[in-house]
Chain A
Amino acid sequence: MANADCIVIQGSNMAECHPVGYQWVAEAKARGAKVIHVDPRFTRTSAVADKHIPIRAGSDVVLLGALINYVISHDLWFKEYVSAYTNAATLVHADYRDAEDLGGLFSGFDPETGAYDPSSWSYAEEGGDTIDEPGPGTEHGSDASDRAAGHQFGSGGPPLEHAKVQRDETLQDPRTVFQIVKRHYARYTPEMVQQMCGITTEDFEYMARAITENSGRDRTTCFAYAVGWTQHTLGTQFIRAAAILQLLLGNMGRPGGGIMALRGHASIQGSSDIPTLFNLLPGYLPMPSAGRHDTFREFVEAIGSKKQKGFWAEADAYAISLLKAWWGDAATKENDWAYDYLPRLNGPHGTYQTVMSMLEDKVEGYFVLGQNPAVGSSNGRMQRMGMSHLKWLVVRDLNLIESATWWKDGPEIESGELRTEDIETEVFFMPAATHVEKAGSFTQTQRLLQWRHQAVAPPGQCQSELQFFFLLGQKIREKLAGSTDERDRPLLDLTWDYPVDEHGDPEPEAVLAEINGRHLTGPDAGKPLSAYTELRADGSTSSGCWIYTGVYADGVNHAANRKPGQEQGPVAPEWGWAWPANRRVLYNRASADPAGKPWSERKKYVWWDQEKGQWVGDDVPDFPIDRAPGSRPDPELGGSAALAGDDPFIMQADGKGWLFAPKGLVDGPLPTHYEPQESPVSNALYPQQQNPGRMTYGRKDNLSAPSGGSPGADIYPYVFTTYRLTEHHTAGGMSRWLPYLSELQPEMFCEVSPELAAERGLEPFGWATIISARSAIEAKVLVTDRMTPLTVAGHTVHQIGLPYHWGVGTNAIVSGDAANDLLGVTLDPNVQIQESKAASCDIRPGRRPRGADLLALVAEYQARAGITPETGNARITDPGSGSTLED
């Protein structure tokens, strides 16, 4: 980021929520970069940016789409880059119909399942057919949503059966991706931005000029986002829209370019690389699905075809090495490497569906580790009520967080919905060691693994996660010892043999070595692997996470590399270790032109050295090292061997950056604006109001407010958005128990504009009650000019800011109502993230009612708005035809 000439921070409050990472924005600014912050609120990030542009929460695709349109219609796209490195020239199948032609729906919508069959979005194959997904064929959107299939694209694109695409290099064929993109965004104009986002045409012009003037051969623009983009019912498409823009401007794979996904915790990146998700295995291998991945062959073929381009073609080597790491000698060629030991997904088992299953008494026990769902998850009441149905609950945390005490002091005890003596859940609290009391690695935003040394031993009975799970595994295996039941084999055959220190804590470096992987046979048997390209599909290698292979090369913990920046070059390769292969900028072959020369001296990074016959530069080249720029290998070769000299996107099945995504997204191949689940505004672009593919849960305990012009929408007239403050950490488990942090932000508050305060009679620093279709909370009122009323579609839209750090309980130093109690559960269909950044509410002065009166207040609002479980959950909304299809 320090190399950027312009930085757009949108969907993130980077200076507040990522203050340490913000040093690189400060550095770029000191070098002359322009910093633009697009956000509903003027935040600490806006305060140090060159320009703050207020936007209506949830309207980002309109703005980004208009920027795409601006770049194309003003002929400002980076032609050589786009033509050579993206799929702009690729032909899409003739059956494809765009949302522009179908009132906001793409071809393939299946009203029965409320999801898309994406076959018609495929690339065209010679002879008139489509280029399908390998294996069992293109997956239906409803199945892909159930397993949140989008997660598996965390380190590269979706698979194709082969990469023999049809191209029109002139980009003139109406079926080329370029022409389709151009048509799709033609109505995303500055006027539409003004109408839908509340952004003036002057501000739009400023932003459009800033990013286009700072892109090209000599300059680069960088985007940064966080959960302000992801936590929407079309969050994935927000980021896709930015990706299209950055590809058109030629800002991918280059220094100072890219799209920075800012991570909210020390190792959230790490927890998707080596996942704590229901649907992923390490290294972005999918969790097998029943019916789709029944045999090992079906499983690996569906991940990457041998005939597609790039490194996902070696998926079998990554999968087999993982199974060898987990089950060692018990994983053999004969038993398909113990593939059947892996559980199979048989439906959506994300965190929200699990809570709904608890309410149906389908879940007996629950581990809560490193999170505080009673405060931090959407629809907090549903979370707490769900936990009250459990037989047992284990909470491992530093403090007695609200998720461990809801049964005695939670909001439902006060409201009378739960009585402590009636709750049969047995709650176990396990004290956890803090990050300074245990060693291990953090993987941060930039995919950099940094080793953390233990400073002090954990006090009392506190344990590291490693020790806890190691002992738990040992105890379970002891109980199962001697079992002949087949279903116990996966546990009994696990390699579970880590060396421990004098406190019984496993050596974390031994785990890192296992993740890195080893040679299992041959002269090097037992030696650590150096690179993932050494992984083999014959059982001769093991690796616990293929993308991390190399972090322990030569038996050295490279995550612990600590050479100070001033003692090495600007790329600083000897500080920590970045996956894959210690590469700091992904797809960096794109930093050189198609002939292999740097685009400019100023942006020189990786280039082709004709004399050496290889790629060289400041970073580890992200390309087959000796593949000449002009190479045109036969696509039939498949895998990395099939990559042409100008295929920089080596994890994409066709080697190109995808402006149009023929596979991988369940809610459309191109980002399209839909309103949030709850919105006071009607979609001016399409009759389709909300994302038709979103995952809805119309239940009495998860009601939605009416939207747009529907009757009752005016009962909840304001937009609220939730966020974090620098002084606290997420649901407060690590900050509300610390006096130094608690005193800096002691009380729950809401941020409102002076105009809204006047409209509703809110007193500065007095109390206000905020009511949504789910709940009502109270907060102190911060009246500030940092909140701007926006004029959207001729009406004033007021937005209310709610930090979500506080929770109701008696153990923390500071407590307060939880903003997340106001939120409902409606999910993005690609990755199942909840929509927590835009929803509808009302606000009024004074504290909220107590006890049963609180429920009465919420019910009174619901009744006035005429809400039923169906409200807001219609899949297809076409007021033109008058037909409404309920979900």
Chain B
Amino acid sequence: MGQLSGPTDPAVDAHWEQHESRKGFFTDTSICIGCKACEVACKEWNHNPGDGNLELLGSSYDNTGALGASTWRHVAFVEQGQERIKEARETGRALVSLGMPKFGPPSQPDLASADTTPPDTADFRWLMSSDVCKHCTHAGCLDVCPTGALFRTEFGTVVVQDDVCNGCGTCVAGCPFGVIERRSDGTAMVASERKEQHTDHPDIPNVGVAQKCTLCYDRLVDDETPACAKACPTTSIKFGDHDTMVETARERVAELHAQGLTEARLYGANELDGVGGTGSVFLLLDEPEVYGLPPDPRVPTADLPQMYRRAGMAVAGMVAAAAFAFLGGKA
């Protein structure tokens, strides 16, 4: 077993002798137009079944809800008033002045002197953000998988082997982001009373098996861009070498801050966080919770050494206590 926490190159850590450079997404939510082309392109390419219940979800224009076994891209829609925008601007500014590690580029502009006049539309905003599997440096799902169905690819990504997975579901609890799920037979694609007219729909594949974004592993091996990034009309979803993505993301944050948009901040770009940084990094315009993302994700296995130590100490203590009891009794 490789490293369980902290910075590392995951492909090296997984003992790939020859590997590709680590690949990932940079999702820049500041230019997302909420078209959901990523959701559709993902389902088309991966032959994922429809899984909506064909009713309004009651969440602005979002009728998908969350990532799941059949939804590997999900666009969140958040409507906010002026107060919340001000708060976001302040929390973002605070992050920078706290000197959070690796938040800005090395030559970060001095915000005190920059023109940070807030932009024009400040009384209302509609945030849109396309979420996806994070392909963590330390992936909880992979680390807890008992069958080896989940594996680290040569691109540093995390992929399920459908034919190996036995559907035990351990990974579902192992993911700190709630991304991976077992696929049920799903809600039907059509309302029940019309079923007979749509009997020609293909059977749902991989029922009962854990499913999540593969970062289009089948496309990567052919040197193709993942379907979602390929379909994104505004380049809100960028794909490339992880290092380049993180660098681009930092430059973009600095650019937005220079425009007075201090609400901009990165998510997943800190390799010292609880998952060792994510393979998919995001530029957000508010706190992660607003988008349904955990503020401080932590891979459960990061605590394994400590847990073993504590368990060991506990065992030792109990042995000692038992021994003491015997010895004491003898005495």
Q: A residues near B, CB below 8 A?
A: 15-16, 19-20, 22-23, 26, 29-30, 42, 44-52, 206, 725-727, 739-747, 749, 764-765, 780, 782, 784-786, 810-811, 813-814
Residue from A20, A23, A44, A784 within 8 A of B128 (CB atoms): A44
From B11-19, B57-65, B275-283, B299-307, give the one contacting chain A: B57-65
The reply to whether B126 and A42 contact each other, CB–CB distance below 8 Å, is yes
What residue of chain B has the Cβ atom nearest to residue A45's Cβ? Answer: B33
List of B residues within 8 angstroms of A30 by Cβ = 31
Q: Kindly provide the distance from the CB of A25 to the nearest chain B CB, expressed in whole angstroms.
A: 9
List of B residues within 8 angstroms of A22 by Cβ = 33, 233-234
Q: Kindly provide the distance from the CB of A566 to the nearest chain B CB, expressed in whole angstroms.
A: 14
The reply to whether B56 and A19 contact each other, CB–CB distance below 8 Å, is no
A44-B33, A726-B36, A739-B189 as given contacts; A744 in contact with B79, CB under 8 Å:
no
The reply to whether B56 and A50 contact each other, CB–CB distance below 8 Å, is no
The reply to whether B60 and A784 contact each other, CB–CB distance below 8 Å, is yes
The verdict on B293 contacting chain A, using a C-beta distance below 8 Å, is no
The reply to whether A16 and B189 contact each other, CB–CB distance below 8 Å, is no
What residue of chain A has the Cβ atom nearest to residue B201's Cβ? Answer: A739
Residue from B37, B127, B194 within 8 A of A19 (CB atoms): B37
The verdict on B34 contacting chain A, using a C-beta distance below 8 Å, is yes
The reply to whether A786 and B124 contact each other, CB–CB distance below 8 Å, is yes
The reply to whether B43 and A48 contact each other, CB–CB distance below 8 Å, is no
The verdict on B219 contacting chain A, using a C-beta distance below 8 Å, is no
Q: Kindly provide the distance from the CB of B196 to the nearest chain A CB, expressed in whole angstroms.
A: 11
The reply to whether A744 and B36 contact each other, CB–CB distance below 8 Å, is yes
Q: Restricting to B58-83, which residues have a CB under 8 Å from any CB of A? A: 58, 60-61, 63-64, 79, 81
Q: Given A23-B234, A785-B81, 18 other A-B contacts at CB below 8 A?
A: A16-B33, A20-B233, A42-B124, A42-B126, A44-B35, A47-B126, A48-B33, A50-B120, A52-B121, A206-B120, A746-B53, A746-B54, A747-B55, A785-B79, A786-B126, A811-B194, A811-B197, A813-B198
- Distance of A167 Cα from B43 Cα, bound (Å): 63
Going nearest first, the 10 A-B pairs with the smallest beta carbon separation are A743-B52, A739-B50, A47-B126, A15-B33, A739-B189, A19-B35, A746-B54, A26-B234, A51-B120, A765-B58
The verdict on B273 contacting chain A, using a C-beta distance below 8 Å, is no
A51-B120, A810-B194 as given contacts; A743 in contact with B31, CB under 8 Å:
no
The reply to whether A746 and B56 contact each other, CB–CB distance below 8 Å, is yes
What residue of chain A has the Cβ atom nearest to residue B255's Cβ? Answer: A30
Q: Kindly provide the distance from the CB of B46 to the nearest chain A CB, expressed in whole angstroms.
A: 11
The total of chain B residues at the interface (CB under 8 A) is 44
Q: Kindly provide the distance from the CB of A14 to the nearest chain B CB, expressed in whole angstroms.
A: 9
Q: Kindly provide the distance from the CB of A491 to the nearest chain B CB, expressed in whole angstroms.
A: 40
The verdict on B310 contacting chain A, using a C-beta distance below 8 Å, is no
- Distance of A170 Cα from B59 Cα, bound (Å): 60
Residue from B31, B44, B55, B190 within 8 A of A740 (CB atoms): B44
List of B residues within 8 angstroms of A52 by Cβ = 121, 124
What are 22 pairs between A and B in contact, CB < 8 Å?
A: A19-B234, A29-B31, A45-B33, A47-B125, A48-B33, A48-B234, A51-B121, A726-B33, A739-B49, A739-B50, A739-B189, A739-B190, A743-B52, A744-B63, A746-B56, A749-B56, A765-B56, A780-B56, A785-B79, A786-B79, A811-B194, A813-B194
- Distance of A46 Cα from B121 Cα, bound (Å): 9
The reply to whether A50 and B119 contact each other, CB–CB distance below 8 Å, is yes
The verdict on B235 contacting chain A, using a C-beta distance below 8 Å, is yes
A785-B79, A813-B190, A813-B191 as given contacts; A742 in contact with B54, CB under 8 Å:
yes
The verdict on B40 contacting chain A, using a C-beta distance below 8 Å, is yes
Q: Beta-carbon contacts of B78-95 to A below 8 Å, as 1s and 0s?
A: 010100000000000000
- Distance of A740 Cα from B231 Cα, bound (Å): 15
List of B residues within 8 angstroms of A23 by Cβ = 233-235
- Distance of A26 Cα from B233 Cα, bound (Å): 9
The reply to whether B120 and A44 contact each other, CB–CB distance below 8 Å, is no
What residue of chain B has the Cβ atom nearest to residue A743's Cβ? Answer: B52
The verdict on B271 contacting chain A, using a C-beta distance below 8 Å, is no
Q: Kindly provide the distance from the CB of A569 to the nearest chain B CB, expressed in whole angstroms.
A: 21
List of B residues within 8 angstroms of A49 by Cβ = 121
List of A residues within 8 angstroms of B60 by Cβ = 782, 784
List of B residues within 8 angstroms of A16 by Cβ = 33-35
- Distance of A49 Cα from B234 Cα, bound (Å): 13
Residue from A50, A51, A745, A811 within 8 A of B63 (CB atoms): A745
The verdict on B39 contacting chain A, using a C-beta distance below 8 Å, is yes
What residue of chain B has the Cβ atom nearest to residue A34's Cβ? Answer: B120
The reply to whether B121 and A50 contact each other, CB–CB distance below 8 Å, is yes
What residue of chain B has the Cβ atom nearest to residue A811's Cβ? Answer: B197
Q: Kindly provide the distance from the CB of A442 to the nearest chain B CB, expressed in whole angstroms.
A: 17
What residue of chain A has the Cβ atom nearest to residue B236's Cβ? Answer: A26
The reply to whether B234 and A746 contact each other, CB–CB distance below 8 Å, is no
What residue of chain A has the Cβ atom nearest to residue B126's Cβ? Answer: A47
Q: Which of B121, B127, B191, B194 has the most CB of A within 10 A?
A: B121
List of A residues within 8 angstroms of B43 by Cβ = 740
- Distance of A739 Cα from B52 Cα, bound (Å): 9
The verdict on B51 contacting chain A, using a C-beta distance below 8 Å, is yes
The reply to whether B126 and A44 contact each other, CB–CB distance below 8 Å, is yes
- Distance of A780 Cα from B60 Cα, bound (Å): 12
- Distance of A30 Cα from B39 Cα, bound (Å): 24
- Distance of A782 Cα from B57 Cα, bound (Å): 11
Residue from B35, B50, B191 within 8 A of A726 (CB atoms): B35
Q: Kindly provide the distance from the CB of B116 to the nearest chain A CB, expressed in whole angstroms.
A: 16
Q: Kindly provide the distance from the CB of A812 to the nearest chain B CB, expressed in whole angstroms.
A: 9
Q: Kindly provide the distance from the CB of A316 to the nearest chain B CB, expressed in whole angstroms.
A: 44
What residue of chain B has the Cβ atom nearest to residue A37's Cβ? Answer: B121
Q: Which of B43, B49, B63, B64 has the most CB of A within 10 A?
A: B63
Q: Kindly provide the distance from the CB of B216 to the nearest chain A CB, expressed in whole angstroms.
A: 17
Residue from B36, B54, B64, B120 within 8 A of A814 (CB atoms): B54
Q: Kindly provide the distance from the CB of A735 to the nearest chain B CB, expressed in whole angstroms.
A: 10
- Distance of A725 Cα from B201 Cα, bound (Å): 26
List of A residues within 8 angstroms of B124 by Cβ = 42, 52, 785-786
- Distance of A814 Cα from B52 Cα, bound (Å): 12
Q: Kindly provide the distance from the CB of A209 to the nearest chain B CB, expressed in whole angstroms.
A: 12
List of B residues within 8 angstroms of A26 by Cβ = 31, 33, 233-235
List of A residues within 8 angstroms of B198 by Cβ = 813
Residue from A44, A48, A744, A749 within 8 A of B39 (CB atoms): A744
- Distance of A48 Cα from B126 Cα, bound (Å): 8
- Distance of A19 Cα from B231 Cα, bound (Å): 11
List of A residues within 8 angstroms of B81 by Cβ = 785
What residue of chain A has the Cβ atom nearest to residue B32's Cβ? Answer: A48
- Distance of A48 Cα from B36 Cα, bound (Å): 15
Residue from A15, A744, A782, A786 within 8 A of B52 (CB atoms): A744
Q: Which of A23, A725, A780 has the most CB of B within 10 A?
A: A23
Q: Restricting to B201-257, which residues have a CB under 8 Å from any CB of A? A: 201, 233-235
The reply to whether B56 and A813 contact each other, CB–CB distance below 8 Å, is no
- Distance of A739 Cα from B56 Cα, bound (Å): 15
What residue of chain B has the Cβ atom nearest to residue A36's Cβ? Answer: B120
What residue of chain B has the Cβ atom nearest to residue A739's Cβ? Answer: B50
- Distance of A15 Cα from B43 Cα, bound (Å): 22
List of B residues within 8 angstroms of A749 by Cβ = 56
Q: Which of B34, B197, B235 has the most CB of A within 10 A?
A: B34
- Distance of A743 Cα from B36 Cα, bound (Å): 11
The reply to whether A740 and B35 contact each other, CB–CB distance below 8 Å, is no
Q: Kindly provide the distance from the CB of A819 to the nearest chain B CB, expressed in whole angstroms.
A: 16
- Distance of A725 Cα from B120 Cα, bound (Å): 26
What residue of chain A has the Cβ atom nearest to residue B50's Cβ? Answer: A739
- Distance of A15 Cα from B235 Cα, bound (Å): 13
Q: Kindly provide the distance from the CB of B64 to the nearest chain A CB, expressed in whole angstroms.
A: 7
- Distance of A749 Cα from B32 Cα, bound (Å): 23
Q: Kindly provide the distance from the CB of A790 to the nearest chain B CB, expressed in whole angstroms.
A: 15
List of B residues within 8 angstroms of A811 by Cβ = 194, 197
The reply to whether B54 and A743 contact each other, CB–CB distance below 8 Å, is yes
- Distance of A322 Cα from B313 Cα, bound (Å): 93
- Distance of A16 Cα from B63 Cα, bound (Å): 16
List of B residues within 8 angstroms of A764 by Cβ = 58
What residue of chain A has the Cβ atom nearest to residue B81's Cβ? Answer: A785
Q: Kindly provide the distance from the CB of B210 to the nearest chain A CB, expressed in whole angstroms.
A: 22
List of A residues within 8 angstroms of B127 by Cβ = 47
